[in-house]
């Protein structure tokens, strides 16, 4: 069994109504999005912010830094992510989902979220997880290993609610790449939302307000009352 990665946690007040597993971007850490938690006003939710393993990143001259996967090249039509790293990190995220279940929060009350590289991992794992999740949130993210999507997609998460947010001036992840990833997941009947913001590779106050409402609609305290 894959070990659970180290993580920062902001626990719920009382028994959690649900959990958000939130993956940081390249070179950051689980502390990156900790300051956002009070702004989301969701005391009934547990937030789990794992730390990515340290590894060399080719596009940064091989510098060792927290990264869910190595990026070998930039500018290609399909990205330059290392396949083995992606699958290794997917195992870490799966271990986090399993730990939430062991702590009383099953997959159908878990939202996978991430920013940039973390958003790519949230989408990768979420679309392949064998149990239905509560939702997937991709912030300034994109798709990795798209050629494996159809063969590996899980029917359990075919219609899982999806939120994409992206900056129209993002210099790191072109908005066109994010739109392509979203289009591959959008289908009739699915609650899939796309939102653009006039910003770069970042998170803005209007985006945080949108995230707060989206998460509240899926992880409200009523989950704890009715046991869903």
In the residue annotation, 29 being an active-site residue is answered as no
Domains observed in the chain = 7-226 (3.40.50.1820)
193: which strand partners?
Answer: 163
Cα–Cα separations (whole angstroms), residue 31 to 19, 28, 39, 162, 200:
17, 8, 15, 24, 21
- Cα(136)–Cα(74) distance, integer angstroms: 25
Taking only the tens of pLDDT, the chain with its 228 residues reads: 578 999 999 999 999 999 999 999 999 999 999 999 999 999 999 999 999 999 999 999 999 999 999 999 876 556 689 999 999 999 999 999 999 999 999 999 999 999 999 999 999 999 999 999 999 999 999 999 999 999 999 999 999 999 999 999 999 999 999 999 999 999 999 999 999 999 999 999 999 999 999 999 999 866 544 444
First to last CA, the chain: 28
Q: To which residue do tokens 């995220």 refer?
A: 93
Write down the pTM of the prediction.
0.95
Using an 8 Å Cβ cutoff, are 137 and 114 in contact? yes
Contact between 138 and 170 (Cβ < 8 Å): no
Query: Annotated catalytic residue: which of 29, 108, 195, 201?
Result: 201
Instruction: Tell me the C-alpha distance between 57 and 51, whole Å.
Output: 16
Establish whether 85 is a catalytic residue: no
Which is catalytic among the residues 116, 129, 140, 166? 116
Contact partners, residue 70, CB within 8 Å, separation at least 6: 55, 56, 57, 58, 81, 82, 85
Nearest to 40 by CA among 219, 224, 226: 219
Catalytic residue among 32, 82, 85, 170: 170
Closest CA to 133 of 172, 161, 153, 164: 161
Report the distance separating Cα 108 and Cα 174, nearest Å.
32
The question of whether 204 is a catalytic residue gets the answer no
Nearest of 91, 105, 121 to residue 22 by alpha carbon: 121
CA 202 vs CA 1, 88, 173, 190, 205: distances in Å: 35, 26, 11, 27, 10
User: Both tokens of residue 40?
Assistant: 């989301």
């Amino acid at each position: 069994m894959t070990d659970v990665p180290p993580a920062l946690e902001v626990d719920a007040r009382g028994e959690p109504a649900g959990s958000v597993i939130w993956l940081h971007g390249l070179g950051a850490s689980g502390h990156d999005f900790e300051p956002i938690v009070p702004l989301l006003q969701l005391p009934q939710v547990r937030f789990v912010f794992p730390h990515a393993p340290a590894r060399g990143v080719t596009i940064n001259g091989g510098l060792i830094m927290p990264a869910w996967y190595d990026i070998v090249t930039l500018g290609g039509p399909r990205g330059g992510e290392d396949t083995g790293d992606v699958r290794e990190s997917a195992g870490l995220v799966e271990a986090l989902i399993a730990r939430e279940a062991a702590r009383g929060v099953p997959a159908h009350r878990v939202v996978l979220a991430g920013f940039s590289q973390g958003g790519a991992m949230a989408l990768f794992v979420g679309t392949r997880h064998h149990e239905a999740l509560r939702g997937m949130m991709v912030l300034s993210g994109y798709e990795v290993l798209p050629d494996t999507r159809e063969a590996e997609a899980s029917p359990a998460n075919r219609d899982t609610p999806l939120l994409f947010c992206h900056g129209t001036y993002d210099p790191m992840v072109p908005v066109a790449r994010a739109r392509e990833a979203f289009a591959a997941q959008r289908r009739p009947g699915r609650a899939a939302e796309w939102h653009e913001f006039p910003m770069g590779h970042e998170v803005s106050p209007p985006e945080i307000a949108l995230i707060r409402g989206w998460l509240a609609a899926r992880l409200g305290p009523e989950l704890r009352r009715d046991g869903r």
